[in-house]
C-alpha cells in the first residue's frame, strides 16, 4: 500500500476506472478470519496438522478483499457500501495468490456508483464475480496510510515438531523423583502416554499411590520404587542412571536442591566434566524460531569459566533441537565493552573464545543488548555488524536474576510457551516447576529425548522438513 492514499471523488470518477490488489492466502489469514467472524467450521479452519495447507479459505475471506480495494484505492477513503453481490465459482486454498479487482460500470444520482467486482487466481481461474453499489465520496480526502495496531497471532507452533521427532525415538527410561502430587504424576503419565518416556516412579509408595487415586491415573504398569525421603529418592534416581537403567531424570514434588545435590555430588553423582546449567526453551508468539535462554535457574552469579559451560550447554541443546548452527547473543545492558559493566567484559571474552574454538558449534557474539540481539532494525540503527545481532537463537544472560525475569516476562507478559532442561550432566534432568502445565512437562520430556539422543550418537534427530514447513506457516 502507498505511504499516502487519496480518494477519487464522484465528479472525478469515470466509467471504466479500475483498481486491484493481490494477496496470498496464508494460514494466519484463516485463523484471523475465524476469530473475527466466529466461524470455526473445520472445513475452513486449520488444525495445525500437515494437512492444514489443504484447508479451503472461507469464500467471504476472498470477498473481503473487494472491500479493501473499494476503501483504499477506488474510490478510496470515504467510500461506503450500499450493496454487494458475489457469485462464488472456485475455492481458494492456503498458498493461493489471488487478485481482487473493481471497475466502475455505472454512475447514478450522486453519490451512487456501481462497480463490477472480480476475484481470480494467479492463473486466471475465476474465484468470484459480481457487482458492488457504493456511495462515492464527494470531497477530496488525502491521508497517510494507516498503520494498524500490531496484532500477534500465536499460530506458529514450534513445540509440536519437537514432540513428533522425540516420539519417533521411542520411550526413554526415566527416573521420576517423588511424583506424589497431581501435577508431577500427571506430567509423567502424559509423557508416557505420548510415547516419550518409560517412567520409573521413585518416592513414597503410599504418597504416589494416593496421588494416582486422587487424580484418577492408572500407574499399575509402571515400576515403583519405595523410598523414605526425597534425598533417598534422588540418590536412587542417580544410581539408576549410573547403572544404565534410566537415561534421564524428571523432577517431581520435591525441592530442586534435594535433587540437584545428588546430581552434582563428586562421588556417585552425574558430573560429566562440565558445569551443569538450565536452559529455557521458549515458543514466543512474535518469533518464527525457538528461543533458548540460559542460565535462569541454577547458576546464580556465574563467572567467565562457568559462562563458557553455560554457553556450550545451550548450543548443544539447540543443535539437538534441529538448529544446525545456533546464533548466540551474550547479553548485557549495552552493546559496547565497558570496564564498569563486568558482563560486557565476559561477553567479549566469550565471543573471542568461540572464534578460537574454545566454544564449539555456534556463532557467538557479544556484548549485545536485548533489543539489538533480537531486532534487526535496532541493530542496524546502532551500526552493529554481526551474524548474530537481530537473529539470536540463544540468549546467554549475565546472571540468574536477569535470566529468570526475562523468561518469566516472556511467559506471563508476551504469552510465550516455555519448557526447560538441565544439561551438562551424564543425563538430562527435567527440572519442571509446580507452575508448569502438562504441555510444558511434555515438551521438557521431548527436549530430554532429543538431547540424550545427540549426546549418545553425536548427531541430532533429522528434522521432518514438511512438518517444519507447515508449522512455520
Q: Does the pLDDT of residue 467 top 60, yes or no?
A: no
My answer on whether 186 and 127 are in the same domain is no
CATH of the domain at 328: 3.40.718.10
Q: Is residue 61 part of a domain?
A: yes
Q: Are 234 and 177 in contact (CB under 8 A)?
A: yes
Q: Does 191 lie in the same domain as 128?
A: no
383 pairs with which residues across the strands?
none
Of 144, 171, 195, which one is at a domain's C-terminal end?
144
Q: In the numeric block, which cell numbers belong to residue 245?
A: 537403567
Residue 149 falls inside a structural domain? no
Q: Does residue 122 share a domain with residue 175? A: no
End position of a domain, from candidates 144, 167, 198:
144
pLDDT tens for 402-440 read: 999 999 999 988 888 899 999 999 999 998 776 677 788
Task: Evaluate whether residue 359 is within a structural domain.
Answer: yes
- 422 shares a domain with 302: yes
Do 313 and 360 fall within a single domain? Answer: yes
Vertex 18: Cα angle to 12 and 23 (nearest 5): 135
294 and 363 together in one domain: yes
Where in the sequence is the domain holding 173, given as residue range(s)?
159-472
pLDDT the model gives residue 146: 76
pLDDT tens per residue, range 7-54: 999 999 999 999 999 999 988 888 889 988 998 888 888 876 656 667
Residue finishing a domain among 92, 118, 144: 144
Q: How confident is the model at residue 468 (pLDDT cuts 50, 70, 90)?
A: very low
Q: CB neighbours of 86 closer than 8 A, spacing ≥ 6?
A: 59, 63, 66, 117, 128, 129, 130
- Which pLDDT band, with edges at 50, 70 and 90, does 208 fall under? very high
Q: Give the three-class secondary structure for 473.
A: coil
271 and 361 inside one domain: yes
Choose among 45, 33, 24, 128: nearest CA to 84. 128
The number of folded domains in the chain is: 2
1 pLDDT band, cuts 50/70/90, is: very low
Of 203-217, 238-252, 455-469, least confident by mean pLDDT is 455-469
Q: What angle do CA 380, 386, 390 make, to 5 degrees?
A: 55
Between CA 94 and CA 79 the distance in angstroms is 30
Residue 222 lies in a domain: yes
222 and 108, same domain (yes or no): no
In terms of domains, do 453 and 352 share one? yes
Cis peptide before 339 (omega within 30 of 0): no
pLDDT tens digit sequence for 102-142: 999 999 999 999 999 999 999 999 999 999 999 999 999 98
With respect to residue 164, please indicate whether it lies within any of the assigned structural domains.
yes
- For the beta sheet containing 80-88, the strands, ordered from the edge strand earlier in sequence to the opposite edge, are 18-24, 97-107, 112-121, 126-135, 80-88
Does any domain span residue 151? no
Residue 143: per-residue pLDDT: 84
Quick check: is 255 in a domain?
A: yes
- 100 and 183 in a single domain? The answer is no
Residues 84 and 169 in one domain: no
197 versus 440: which is more confidently predicted? 197
Q: Are residues 177 and 132 in the same domain?
A: no
Domain at 36, CATH number: 3.10.129.10
Residue 150 lies in a domain: no
pLDDT at 471 over 50: no
- Residues 136, 139, 145, 151: is their CA dihedral positive or negative? negative
Amino acid at each position: 500500500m502507498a505511504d499516502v492514499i487519496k480518494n477519487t471523488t464522484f465528479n472525478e470518477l469515470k466509467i471504466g476506472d479500475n483498481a486491484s490488489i493481490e494477496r496470498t492466502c496464508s494460514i494466519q489469514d484463516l485463523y484471523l478470519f475465524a476469530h473475527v467472524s466466529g466461524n470455526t467450521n473445520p472445513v475452513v479452519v486449520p488444525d495445525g496438522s500437515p494437512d492444514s495447507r489443504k484447508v479451503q479459505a472461507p469464500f467471504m475471506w476472498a470477498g473481503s478483499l473487494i472491500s479493501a480495494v473499494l476503501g483504499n484505492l477506488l474510490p478510496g477513503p470515504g467510500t461506503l457500501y450500499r450493496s454487494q453481490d458475489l457469485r462464488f465459482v472456485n475455492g481458494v486454498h492456503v498458498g493461493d495468490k489471488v487478485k481482487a479487482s473493481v471497475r466502475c460500470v455505472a454512475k447514478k444520482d450522486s453519490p451512487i456508483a456501481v462497480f463490477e467486482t472480480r476475484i481470480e487466481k494467479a492463473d486466471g481461474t475465476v474465484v468470484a464475480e459480481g457487482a458492488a453499489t457504493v456511495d462515492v465520496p464527494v470531497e477530496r480526502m488525502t491521508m497517510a496510510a494507516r498503520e494498524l495496531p500490531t496484532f500477534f497471532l500465536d499460530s506458529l507452533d514450534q513445540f509440536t515438531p519437537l514432540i513428533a521427532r522425540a516420539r519417533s525415538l521411542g520411550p526413554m527410561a526415566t527416573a521420576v523423583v517423588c511424583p506424589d502430587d497431581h501435577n508431577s504424576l500427571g506430567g509423567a503419565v502424559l509423557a508416557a502416554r505420548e510415547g516419550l518416556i518409560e517412567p520409573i516412579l521413585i518416592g513414597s509408595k503410599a504418597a504416589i499411590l494416593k496421588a494416582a487415586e486422587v487424580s484418577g491415573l492408572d500407574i499399575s504398569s509402571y515400576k515403583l520404587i519405595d523410598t523414605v525421603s526425597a534425598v533417598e529418592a534422588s540418590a536412587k534416581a542417580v544410581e539408576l542412571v549410573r547403572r544404565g537403567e534410566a537415561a534421564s531424570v524428571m523432577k517431581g514434588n520435591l525441592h530442586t536442591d534435594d535433587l540437584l545435590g545428588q546430581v552434582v555430588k563428586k562421588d556417585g553423582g552425574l558430573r560429566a566434566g562440565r558445569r551443569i546449567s538450565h536452559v529455557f526453551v521458549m515458543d514466543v508468539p512474535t518469533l518464527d524460531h525457538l528461543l533458548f535462554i540460559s542460565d535462569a535457574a541454577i547458576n546464580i552469579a556465574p563467572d567467565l569459566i562457568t559462562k563458557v559451560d553455560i554457553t556450550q550447554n545451550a548450543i548443544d541443546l539447540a543443535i539437538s533441537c534441529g538448529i544446525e548452527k545456533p546464533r548466540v547473543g551474550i547479553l548485557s545492558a549495552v552493546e559496547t565493552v565497558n570496564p564498569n559493566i563486568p558482563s560486557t567484559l565476559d561477553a567479549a571474552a566469550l565471543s573471542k573464545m568461540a572464534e578460537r574454538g574454545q566454544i564449539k558449534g555456534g556463532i557467538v557474539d557479544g556484548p549485545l543488548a536485548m533489543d539489538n540481539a533480537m531486532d534487526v532494525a535496532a541493530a542496524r540503527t546502532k551500526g552493529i555488524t554481526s551474524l548474530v545481532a537481530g537473529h539470536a537463537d540463544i540468549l546467554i544472560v549475565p546472571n540468574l536474576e536477569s535470566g529468570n525475569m526475562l523468561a518469566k516476562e516472556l511467559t506471563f507478559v508476551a504469552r510465550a510457551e516455555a519448557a526447560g532442561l538441565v544439561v551438562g550432566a551424564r543425563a538430562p534432568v527435567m527440572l519442571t516447576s509446580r507452575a508448569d502445565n502438562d504441555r510444558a512437562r511434555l515438551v521438557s520430556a521431548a527436549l530430554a529425548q532429543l538431547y540424550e539422543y545427540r549426546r549418545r550418537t553425536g548427531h541430532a534427530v533429522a528434522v521432518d522438513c514438511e512438518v517444519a514447513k507447515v508449522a512455520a506457516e
